[in-house]
A and B are shown apart, each in its own frame.
Chain A
């Protein structure tokens, strides 16, 4: 620890530090914490940026006497998570400096902060609502917001106001304003936006000039829900966020609470968790592969991929009783033990899937049209990835081997023998390569985890019988979901509910980088690039 302190002297040198704290990484998930003044924030962010730290997450917390912005900076190569806090005691007009010109990924985080808390980020280029409708008048994450049980009923109802009568007026105005420009609203009902994403494309013919992703169509405010529910009640919500790779989200939340409680699951449960999560990851990548080729106009692979995915869903159904929105993990263990017959199915499935992978490779990579459609399309450079905080397969397609399973090992991943596939292409084809290689690695992990699984109880000795009370403190826990770095920032106050539970979902940052990948491409590429980001909208909208 002392070494890091020496190494990181540059962080606060010459800045106004209100307080500094050395966290115990194993307990809280942070290496260091600083509370600094508002004026020093931008200077500090620039220092982080120049030393290749990425902005992992930005959470706003509403404390009784002040608003707090928590910036997390981290590195790809060597984990060093720094929590930087800025406080604003003005509860009525909270202002913070913007970081959106230093870290482009901060753009959306800050808009979200404005949306949920009414926090103003000065000099932000486009500080508008992100997840709530533009007409919203509420800031639902503020502690004084009571929702429809309180006095804000009218404001809430205003959200569903319908404005059809304005069409004639608005369309005429727009016609006069844009003589030459061509706009297309891709979504939210477009078949290739994988859910309810809306892309506002500004076109010149078929060429994309600018892209504005509009999100929030499946926003349910899980973060607010977490504050109302106790720790156990919140577990089913995890399957509703990333419905394609729900196991990883289970893992993230349960792992966070276990970390906060200082409790370890039973050894058998660890292995069950790992192999079910890896199977789920394969299912997620298969779904991606099928739909991605569907986006490119090839319909047949979709059915092949779903055929394989079906095998996995059958196995996970045997294990969990659910096929999609898993709620399988429990504090200190898992819900059910491995049923009879699952082992045989898994042993039959793994070699079969390996054979199918070879088929996919030949069928896809020998196709000239596919190669031409994906190579050198949607290039995301390493620097852009850093700026946006992109993680997961998209980052590994830039040649950076950042995977939480290796970088910040959790559970039994250190015991597993696997590699992190990286490809240097930076384009959509590299993303395809990474995901296909990851299926193979996940197969390896699942195989090993199932083989090494010890006998024993599926719940740890200290597993709570009722919803636990997490001791006061701040905790961060991250797992590698199928789409990247999924982290949760928990502010607990010792009660039965979280005080604040910020969800750092991977697709959120990945999608925010979309507009920078698209300029100059054609409409057909929009679909190809968007598909390659592998977004799951409910996870972004939360």
Chain B
């Protein structure tokens, strides 16, 4: 009993720390990534004891600056809701990580250990619902600021997230149908099968669903080209009236959601912690070579593989952000309702037909 609790606490610390640190680091990655794409050097001024390390201390400096800044509440804002909104945003972005499996289940001294903070059998449903709760923070921020711009931002956010929530949910139904489970660990484990030595990852089985989910996830995380709630050149965004760390929390939510979307994409479509040809006792390559490994190493390799895949998707989302201009509101809605939703429904139909016929 105590053992389980301690394991869970450690796991929570690892996942929470990993997500928060990755989100923090992403602010630096974003600056450097954009700098590379824009022929610039990028952030490199912050130094600690004369060390610069490519400006890696910038996230720290940013955080410090945000915390030390004046926390300003507009005179005609709703004080309580205004203060509550950023917390709601960050909270729902953080707790969604609970259902993501970061490694394979294993047994240690007679205890079954799940590398998943919340080992629940409706993990996918949980994540989707928590992600859609995140919109409350945005809507509250837009409403409570008593500012026309942030109000528009909040409206845009709510309608955008509701629209894309549906596509997002429907697009992954194909995978759920094939695996017959909403448990993310089961979904990942099912991706460990092979068809003529080709790993049966979600991206190969459900390519259409992958692209739909990728698009919807970008829309969910409010990143360019779907950054309409922010739209810094149009309406500045739902957080116009926020300053200091409260603004920082919205900023952090943005990056946390990026990490979350990457983690979900990895889990559903890129085999989660799976490495091709790595089985529970080591590598069995299709050409016959076998590398036997001890179980802890296999588990560790899985966790590392998962992290690398997540970081890859984070980078990929960054790259898209600095490449594309922004959609217009009605175009976004048209894309969501008239193109993506029908395609995802057809995808379900085709998946079902194939499953029945085979």
Contacts and interface: CB of A to CB of B under 8 A. Distances in A.
A86 to B, nearest CB: 43
Interface stretch (B81-89, B198-206, B226-234): B226-234
A184 B330 contact: no
A300 B328 contact: no
A372 B331 CA distance: 8
B176 interface: no
A243 interface: no
A365 interface: no
A353 interface: no
A191 B232 CA distance: 8
Contacts of B232: 191
Contacts of B37: 300
Interface string B204-235: 00000000000000000000110110011111
A337 B324 CA distance: 44
Contacts of B149: 184
B234 A373 contact: no
A206 B329 contact: yes
Interface stretch (A22-30, A51-59, A479-487, A522-530): A522-530
Contact of A369 (B225, B236, B322, B330): B225
Given A297-B233, A367-B325, A523 B152 contact: yes
B38 interface: yes
B72 to A, nearest CB: 16
A214 interface: no
A76 interface: no
Contact of A300 (B34, B156, B235, B331): B34
Most chain B CB inside 10 Å of its own CB: which residue of A191, A206, A295, A525: A206
Contacts of A300: 34, 37-38, 322-323
Nearest to B227: A297
B148 A369 contact: no
A182 interface: yes
A160 B54 CA distance: 48
A307 interface: yes
Interface string B6-40: 00000000000000000000000000001001111
B227 A522 contact: no
Contacts of B38: 299-300, 302-304
A524 B326 contact: yes
Contacts of B329: 206, 522-524
B325 A373 contact: yes
A293 B224 CA distance: 13
Nearest to A190: B236
The prevalent SS among residues of A at the interface is helix
Contacts of B327: 369, 372-373
Given A191-B232, A524-B234, A527-B234, A299 B34 contact: yes
Contact of B152 (A184, A191, A525): A184
A523 B235 contact: yes
A420 interface: no
B143 to A, nearest CB: 14
A191 B330 contact: no
A223 to B, nearest CB: 33
A237 interface: no
Interface string A275-315: 00000000000000000011111111011100100000000
A303 B40 contact: yes
A330 to B, nearest CB: 38
A293 B326 CA distance: 10
A295 B330 CA distance: 17
Contacts of B236: 190-191
B152 A369 contact: no
A370 interface: yes
Given A192-B234, A304-B39, A524-B231, A297 B326 contact: yes
Contacts of A525: 328
A520 to B, nearest CB: 12
A349 interface: no
A183 interface: yes
Contacts of A296: 233, 325-326
Interface in A146-175: none
A310 B332 CA distance: 36
A373 to B, nearest CB: 6
Interface in B275-330: 322-330
Nearest to B228: A524
Given A297-B225, A300-B38, A370 B325 contact: yes
A211 to B, nearest CB: 14
A369 B226 CA distance: 11
B152 A297 contact: no
A293 B323 CA distance: 11
Contacts of A191: 232-233, 236
B234 A298 contact: no
Nearest to B35: A303
Contacts of B224: 297-298
Interface string B152-172: 100110000000000000000
B93 to A, nearest CB: 23
Nearest to A183: B148
Contacts of A302: 38
B158 to A, nearest CB: 13
Nearest to B232: A191
Nearest to B147: A184
Interface string A355-386: 00000000000010110110000000000000
19 contacts: A182-B148, A191-B233, A192-B234, A295-B233, A296-B233, A296-B325, A296-B326, A298-B324, A300-B37, A303-B39, A303-B40, A367-B324, A369-B325, A372-B327, A373-B326, A373-B327, A373-B328, A373-B331, A527-B234
Given A205-B155, A296-B325, 11 more contacts: A182-B148, A297-B227, A298-B224, A298-B324, A303-B38, A369-B324, A369-B325, A372-B327, A372-B328, A524-B326, A524-B329
Lowest 3 A-B CB distances belong to which pairs?
Answer: A297-B326, A303-B38, A298-B325
